[in-house]
Structure 1
Amino acid sequence: MKRILFVEDDLSLINGLSFAVKKQGYEIDVARTKLEAEGLWPKGKYDLAILDVSLPDGSGYDLCREIRRTSKMPVMFLTAADEETNIIMGLDIGGDDYITKPFKLAVFLSRLNALLRRSENFSQRETELNSNGIRVRLLQGEVYKNGLPVVLTASEYKLLRLFMENPDIVLSPEQILSKLWDCNENYIDSNALTVYIRRLRTKIEDNPANPQNIVTVRRMGYKWNTGN
């Protein structure tokens, strides 16, 4: 059974979403403060974290940064702010999705289910990828660069797998989005994809300003370059 960590201080929202999530067949642990969440998540294995951005004793952004130090589980932000800068910040620090308040319950559940489904789909094959000094242990969900571990978010990990499994093939943004996300999930757009790719490059490229692994093919898309 999937386990979810829900960090939110609004009691009415906690009650409503917790009931709906449990009806989906998931277990859920609730924390109402950043401090309470910090005591919960290291003790349990969670498949997804849902973080309110504004907490009484801190920020969901800060909590996400702490989670990303040791975990690549999917992170969804709940925020009352829909400004582009806030959205980009959430993605840059390791978030996989965001939803702005107020939102419809059906939309929330659809996106929650999609995050869990995508995370599960990308952990099924028992094999290993090696290219350009990058090693991905697919069964363990581990990534290494020149023998040193690299911590990736769920979205970064999925992107890296897609590129490395299709070496020297130009993938258009539309192809990438369709492979990683359901076609009817229009909330994921090319701007968000650009953020994910930039973030991944900072972790696997020797010089992110001049990428050699994930290269941009002008007016076509991106490809994993093996030098062929």
Structure 2
Amino acid sequence: MRERQRRVLIVEDEPTIADSVAARLRAEGFAVHVARDGPGGVAAAASTRPDVVVLDVMLPGFDGLEVCRRIQAERPVPVLMLTARDDETDVLVGLAVGADDYLTKPFSIRELAARVHALLRRVDRVVEDPAPIVLGDLEINPAQRRVRRAGDEVHLTPTEFDLLVHLAQRPRAVQPRERLLAEIWGWGDGAGTRTVDSHVKALRRKLGADLIRTVHGIGYALEVGE
């Protein structure tokens, strides 16, 4: 049976950027849809149900942060956010509302395509042990990619889920930020530790501040009750 063509939604109001990104991704075998503003991006995400979203921060109508919030409220989908400058606030807020990765303009089209492939590999990753993980009142079902705490289901983005599973597989063991970046994001140079920090902050917000312990200068550990 033929493998389904993966879908990418590009939400970008600069035609030159949108067209060049779309052309590269189509050349790599993706089905690509382009939206030019915030409302159009939300509508396109609902109608096309993309596998990955490439999303600019600065958009007409409403900005990419609001687009990301609305898309992630409907269904978890990997989001690669584009920001016009390496502004820490833009990056941290973007990651906090559900973006999985980011690139700063100007960027390499080749790098963007590589990041899209990496996001898909992360979502497609086969879990070696699909058995549910139960730690105290935390329940994780890797096969279904679902999480409950104290019986309540919690909505996580794909990267938040992968980070939680990684920490939960080694409860109470300290995981260095650099190792998390390499194993979850596939970044080998150790740069981008604030990406890890932002996703941990999101997990604490959704699952409780007591769940993940910070080991200053090193990384994080999952702390759960018996």
Q: CA deviation at 1:166?
A: 1.3
Deviation of residue 221 (structure 1)?
2.8
Name the residue aligned to 2:27: 23
Return the alpha-carbon distance in structure 2 between the equivalents of residues 200 and 156 of structure 1. 7
Contact 2:8 2:54 in 1 (8 A): yes
Task: Measure, in 2, the Cα distance between the counterparts of 1:218 and 1:13.
Answer: 40
Letter in 1 for 2:93: M
Report the equivalent of 1:221: 219
Percentage identity across paired residues of the two chains: 30
**Helix, strand or coil: the match of 1:195?**
helix
Q: CA deviation at 1:38?
A: 2.3
CA deviation after TM superposition for structure 1 residue 153, in Å: 1.5
1:27 is displaced (CA, Å) by: 1.2
Amino acid at match of 1:143: V
1:9 aligns with 2:40: no
Q: CA deviation at 1:74?
A: 0.9
Q: Is 1:88 matched up with 2:92?
A: yes
Q: Which residue of 189, 192, 197 corresponds with 1:189?
A: 192
What SS is found at the alignment partner of 1:193? helix
Runs of 4+ in structure 1 over 3 Å off: 122-126, 183-186, 217-220
Q: Which amino acid aligns with 1:14?
A: A
Are 2:147 and 1:149 aligned? no
Q: Is the 8 A contact 1:124 1:139 kept in 2?
A: no
- The DSSP-based 3-state class of the residue aligned with 1:199 is helix
Q: TM-score, normalised by structure 1?
A: 0.88
Task: Identify the residue that residue 73 of structure 1 maps to in structure 2.
Answer: 77
CA distance change for structure 1 residues 220 and 100 in 2, over 3 Å: closer, same or farther?
Answer: closer
Residues 92-171 of structure 1 mapped to structure 2, 5 A cutoff: 92-121=96-125, 126-171=130-175
Aligned to 2:180: 176
Amino acid corresponding to residue 138 of structure 1 in structure 2 = P
For structure 2, the residue ranges without an aligned partner over 5 or more in a row are none
> For residues 14 and 189 of structure 1, do their structure 2 counterparts lie closer, same or farther at Cα, with a shift above 3 Å needed?
closer
Give distance in 2, aligned partners of 1:183 and 1:68.
24
Equivalent residues, number = 222
Counterpart AA for 2:107: F
1:45 is the counterpart of 2:49:
yes
The code of the aligned residue for 1:224 comes to L
Task: Provide the C-alpha distance between the structure 1 equivalents of 2:63 and 2:215, rounded to a whole number of angstroms.
Answer: 38
Q: 2:181–2:188: 8 Å Cα contact kept in structure 1?
A: no
TM-align CA RMSD:
2.0
Unpaired segments ≥5 residues, structure 1 = none
Tell me the SS of whatever aligns to 1:177.
helix
| Partners of 2:26 and 2:32 within 8 A in 1 | yes
